[in-house]
Amino acid sequence: MIVTTGTAVRSEDFSPLTDGTAVSRWTLERGGTRVRVLTYGAVVQSVEVPGRDGTRAEIALGLPDVRDYETYTGPYFGAVVGRYANRIGGGSFVLDGRRHELTRNEGRNTLHGGERGFDKRVWDAEELPDGVRLSLVAEDGEEGFPGRLEVSVAYTLDEDGALRIGYRATTDAPTVVNLTNHTYWNLAGAAGGSALGHELRLAAGRITPSDEESIPTGALTPVEGTRFDFRTARPLGPGYDTNYVLDDTAGGPVAELHDPASGRVLTVRTTEPGLQLYTADHLGEGPFEPCAGIALETQHFPDSPNRPEFPSTVLRPGEEFTSTTVYGFSLR
């Protein structure tokens, strides 16, 4: 265990996978924030922060046993998803004149990397002074994606107890990469039922509207005058699974989620151009009811490999993919 004036870091054995593969759990603690991360799926299993009354509560939806994560795969509880987060329409894309056929795991489309994405892998772990770095290798052809991809995700706690997630990836052949973390947040407490009614603000004046299969149409539609407008904070209702085009905030928060009852506030800063707001209306798996948590997934846009007008997700040999998202915690 490393204990510094910063983050206390420790690891322990967790329950193994059904096939006996060992899984470990890493605990990071700094100030009032405690975060637990699994090597299975790079899952954020737990985030605990205090409320206005000083009581520390669990605000991330997590499961108690790794076999629960094997059983309830659909919600992607707390996992890092990839090689391509969100959807690729038609389960294929063309890169440098060559079409790549992917595993289709949502109708005719590919979702969150296919049948065995990064959420179903056991990652290697390396201790850091303020957290843990998890890494894996995705071989050329896995789920149909080209190139041997080396990926790492660093979870650390900043001085103020914010959870910083730093992604890196390199490849030996042209490929596409889009990584995110799929934590569901309920600032009233993970056992508190529905998260609807939390107040949400998003620094986003546009969305990428989608068709009936949740594939972007290619348009960038203004939110003004629609139910998608969260530029001014307001209570969140159901029915959102939407990619927002983030405004340039010069490194400031792009999202803020507030629970008036507990006083807890979650802020999101990111280097990514988009954020998927998902109200988990179809959750209902495991111990959680629909809308029990709110996902704020920082990302590049869905189906970008088939949309040259969207920000590129192409990664080539000699380049390095980097991305940072910071989840900050405070009180109001």
pLDDT band at 284 (very low <50, low <70, confident <90, very high): confident
Domain of 284, CATH number, reads 2.70.98.10
pLDDT tens per residue, range 20-76: 999 999 999 999 999 999 999 999 999 999 999 999 999 999 999 999 999 999 999
In this predicted structure, what is the pLDDT of residue 1? 36
Characterize 32-58 residue by residue with b for buried, 16 or more Cβ atoms within 10 angstroms of its Cβ, and e for exposed: ebbbbbbbbbbbbbbbbbbbeeeeebb
Q: Which of 267, 276, 260 is nearest to 204 (CA)?
A: 276
Q: What is the mean pLDDT of residues 244-249?
A: 97
Retrieve residue 245's tokens. 């085009």
CB 85 within 8 A of CB 180: yes
Per DSSP bridges, beta strands 131-138 and 124-128 are antiparallel
Sign of the Cα torsion 72, 78, 82, 85 reads positive
Residues 6+ apart with CB under 8 A from 273: 245, 246, 300, 301, 311
Residues 6+ apart with CB under 8 A from 19: none
In this predicted structure, what is the pLDDT of residue 307? 98
Percent of all residues in the chain with a pLDDT value above 90, rounded to a whole number: 95
pLDDT band at 221 (very low <50, low <70, confident <90, very high): very high
In this predicted structure, what is the pLDDT of residue 5? 62
Catalytic residue annotation? 182, 297
In this predicted structure, what is the pLDDT of residue 286? 75
pLDDT at 3 over 80: no
Rounded to whole angstroms, how far apart are CA atoms 238 and 226? Answer: 14
Retrieve residue 206's tokens. 């546009």
Domain tally for the chain?
A: 1
CB 73 within 8 A of CB 93: no
Which amino acid belongs to residue 51?
Answer: G
Enclosing domain of residue 233: 2-331
Q: Can you spell out the DSSP letters for 16-76?
A: PPTT----EEEEEEETTEEEEEESBTT-EEEEEEE-TTS-EEE-B---SSHHHHHH--TT-
In this predicted structure, what is the pLDDT of residue 2? 38
Q: What is the mean pLDDT of residues 5-20?
A: 94
pLDDT band at 192 (very low <50, low <70, confident <90, very high): confident
Instruction: Supply the mean pLDDT for the chain.
Output: 96
